[in-house]
Amino acid sequence: MRFERKHALLLLAVAAWNVVSFGNFARNLWEAYAAGEDRAVGYWVAHLILIVVNFVIAGLLGALGWKAFRATAR
């Protein structure tokens, strides 16, 4: 597959969306924990794993998008 500039921009946009949406999710989760919300430990661990995995995915997509963006420079 040959990357075009629109593909690079899409990858960068998805990476940014992941960071924004899961950053907000992490903030809300932290606020719930700090407020003393009564949940099982598995709840906190599972959601923390989801947040970390999505930040890793955002990093990979961002790196790939940035590489494609530079490669398609005019």
Structure tokens at 73: 């420079």
- Can you give the residue ranges of every domain in the chain? 5-71
For 5-45, the three-class secondary structure string (H helix, E strand, C coil) is HHHHHHHHHHHHHHHHHHHHHHHHHHHHHHCCCCCCHHHHH
- How high is the pLDDT of residue 74? 66
Q: How far is CA 69 from the centre of its chain?
A: 19
The reply to whether the predicted model has a pTM over 0.85 is yes
- How high is the pLDDT of residue 27? 98
Query: Tens digits of per-residue pLDDT, 46-73?
Result: 999 999 999 999 999 999 999 999 999 8
pLDDT-derived band at 2 (thresholds 50, 70, 90) equals: confident
Which residue is listed with tokens 């606020």? 31
